[in-house]
A and B are shown apart, each in its own frame.
Chain A
Amino acid sequence: MKYTLVAWMRDKPGVLSRVSGMLRRRNFNIDSLQVSHSETPGISRMTFVVDGDERVVDQVLKQMQKVVDVTRVENISDQPTILRELALIRVRTTADTRREIMQFAEIYRAQIVDISADSLVIQIVGAEDKVDSLIDLLDRFGIEEMVRTGRVALARGMRIGSHKAVSSVWKARSTPVANGNRSEREKTGGV
């Protein structure tokens, strides 16, 4: 299964290599990884997609939290989340196919952002399956070049606070609960 994780980290030189080096070293399977500024100056936000089971994700979160510059990590897979990706696709066109391609773009609410005699560039924003399906459609016209940002994610409503909030990964529960009522992940300090 694929999990979406978000990590906040101090914007220090080499922090991306620390994180990516750890992920490689520990043999985690990362589908996509995207880094940008966050709402807080000096803190970068990374969205990444992990392929694996619950134990793998648990380890990714814990190992990630051990990287000194990482301030917080969240697994947002089971929260209502807006997942988006942006793709730029340069498609080969002829006089015959141009209109058809533009119609497809319109249906997908994609934009034509560049056009030349024998090609045009389509920009699409959406969930990955939407991007995938447009790419499938365009494939038979001949995709000359393509770039995708990878998944970015933001939880809906107020589910995620600011980076100063206590990480759900990192803080153990502090009140005792009667034995047996607790989930496996709580008992093992997991996520």
Chain B
Amino acid sequence: MTRSKAKQVDSHRQSLNSTPREMTGAQMVWEALVAEGTTVVFGHPGGAILPTYDALAPFEASGAIHHVLVRHEQCAGHMADGYARATGDVGVCIATSGPGATNLVTGLATAQMDSIPIVAITGQVPTNLLGTDAFQESDVIGVTQPVCKHNYLVTDVNELPLILKEAFYIAREGRPGPVLIDICKDVQNAKGIFRYDFEIDLPGFEPWPSYDLGSLLDAAQIINAAERPLIMAGHGVKLAGMSQELLELVEKAEIPVVTTLLGTGDIPETHPLSLGMGGMHGEAFANMAVQGCDVLIAMGMRFDDRITGRLDKFAKQAKIIHFELDKAEVGKNVMPTVAVIGDLGETLPALLPLVSERRHQNWTQTLQAWRGDTADSDIINYEGDELTPPFVIRQLWHATNTAKQQRVLVVTDVGQHQMWESQYFIHEKAGQLLTSGGLGTMGFALPAAIGAQMSDRNALVWAVAGDGGFQMTLQELIVLQQEKLPVKIAIINNGFLGMVRQWQQIFYDKRYVGTPILTPDLVKLAEAYSIPALRVTKPEQVVAAYEQAHATPGPFLIDFRVKEEVNVYPMVPPGAAVDELIRRPKPGMVQGYSGVQPSW
């Protein structure tokens, strides 16, 4: 959530009726959620959370809060995550003690790695049984501590209202993240006084550090003197809602932009200064730009190893300027020349007038030449009999362009199709792509798409998954029926755990151990869930399949039986510098790897 939106939420809370009232801990949970503006929760009941579920009834009856029953708690986490990514608001999930809570862990870890605000509520055994290995007891605080921004164990009902308010505050403010509240069953039943007019007092928790003007001036000076500047834009730009300002900066000083996976669409990918995604599967020209620039302006990103490649060879010619909200990310992986620590929502608008209007003709011409050098069109326009994933993805982009809905969201899983989506779908807006970037959680697409669609039933939501990841969470298909959600699903089905197979092919001499994967008949499977479905095996069927999916109200599934052993290129081998990449071969060329092939 952007800072200004957080302030709005805050004033909304202040305007609520804050008369202290007596109620049970269970009721407090829902009262607080209503006060925070939550309308949807994703969860699964169980013994230790039953009092809270019982207290939900009047809130559901009045339409204040809708509960989405999931089929596995991991997906409650992913749905809350998808909801939060699509809205910028806090997503809420709920589970019982023990296995319910441990199942949530993957969802929380995914959100933590990608800075997604989630509040997770779990039941815990009664306080008198804590630490006795009671039925369905687990040390949820201990288990979730490393994967949460913060967490709370509630053993006293009088502390619950403040904890609920703090949890939302911590999840939402500054760099967002998941917060878990573990509530003992007797606390849910106990009565206490509910009020919600607390001032949050967390000394040491500084979500919005104010930026240093001196650093900003230094940054502007370096940018103005640059001959070959480059912006690397990450998730922070989207979280701060600064796409428009970024575009202004880009055009004013003619600075090309490379994005991270989560920064996809920070500026429209149709823009001539957009170089798309960089890093392990970024286009060669994007990575060459990183290696060739003399000033690298990193905005709201954290120099993950997938974007930097080998650190000691990363952007060696460049002075690095790091705009970042989270101080701990500065100097963690890459030591910048100048860091501007603060909210991009403040620092970027403040930077704009300090940057002079400039043209970098030599630099943009060089980039243009590099761009022509790596023809992805060889793959896109490939006219063979075989169905290839890049073609399927590019056609998806064409199809969504002509769809009647204004808002298009693509939710990808993890693996080859995720990279193909990022390469061949042309993203126009920040936040159009929802994907698990940091943790790389297979099984993310379907539940996150459900969460996103719950926040906006009119959006066109496409879940794109591989046959491997889809099978990790396909039990959630029934939620599409349960909630009448029109999520469209594209399965890039190649009979392998494709990305792992690609690594085995390139680095393990084609020993495909554990990667060939059996998949049930997905069309029949979809039928079992009363979801219309199609199988596509030839390139000429693709366009019609998308048309049919869009013309069919409600959910739709397409099983794309694509060519099996296709690799994602370009590829930076792990441990190599980002310009030591394996280029995209021409069609018909043998795809192989014979050591690192420096490209320039």
Contact = CB atoms under 8 A, between A and B. Distances in A.
Do A and B truly interact?
A: yes
A62 interface: yes
B202 A59 contact: no
B205 A182 contact: no
Interface in B200-254: 202-206, 209-215, 217-218, 221
A116 interface: no
Interface stretch (B184-192, B329-337, B585-593): B329-337
B542 interface: no
Nearest to B320: A188
Given A25-B146, A187-B337, A172 B211 contact: yes
B327 interface: yes
Contact of A17 (B145, B212, B221, B338): B145
Interface residues of A, number: 39
Contacts, number: 95
Contact of A174 (B146, B210, B330, B338): B210
Given A189-B327, A189-B330, A179 B203 contact: no
Contact of B212 (A8, A71, A72, A174): A174
Interface string A80-115: 000000000000000000000000000000000000
A150 interface: no
B341 interface: yes
A188 B213 contact: no
B332 A177 contact: no
Contacts of A188: 322, 330-331, 335-336, 338-339
A123 B221 CA distance: 60
A175 B216 CA distance: 11
Contact of B153 (A13, A22, A167): A13
B204 A72 contact: yes
Nearest to B340: A189
B318 interface: no
Given A59-B328, A172-B211, A188-B331, A68 B149 contact: yes
Contact of A68 (B146, B205, B328): B205
Contacts of A11: none
B493 to A, nearest CB: 37
Interface residues of B, number: 37
B257 interface: no
Contacts of A189: 212, 215, 327, 330-331, 339, 341
Nearest to A169: B327
Contacts of A175: 213-214
A170 B331 contact: no
B514 interface: no
Interface string B321-355: 01000111011100111110110000000000000
B150 interface: yes
Contacts of B211: 172
Contact of B331 (A59, A173, A179): A59
A106 B470 CA distance: 74
B6 interface: no
Given A59-B332, A172-B215, A68 B170 contact: yes
Given A63-B328, A65-B204, A18 B145 contact: yes
B372 interface: no
A152 interface: no
A62 B339 contact: no
A130 interface: no
Nearest to B215: A187
A21 to B, nearest CB: 6
Contact of A14 (B141, B209, B331, B341): B141
A163 B327 CA distance: 20
A170 B327 contact: yes
Nearest to B202: A68
Nearest to A175: B214
Contact of A21 (B146, B327, B339): B146
A175 B330 CA distance: 20
B142 interface: yes
Contacts of B332: 59
A70 interface: yes
A46 to B, nearest CB: 13
Contacts of A63: 328
Given A68-B202, A172-B215, A187-B215, A14 B153 contact: yes
Interface of A: 8-10, 13-14, 17-18, 21-22, 25, 55, 58-59, 62-63, 65-66, 68-72, 163-164, 167, 170-177, 179, 182, 187-190
Given A62-B330, A182-B214, A189-B330, 9 more contacts: A14-B153, A55-B331, A55-B335, A62-B327, A65-B204, A175-B214, A176-B213, A187-B218, A188-B331
Identify the 6 closest CB pairs spanning chains A and B, nearest first: A71-B204, A62-B328, A176-B214, A172-B212, A71-B203, A68-B150
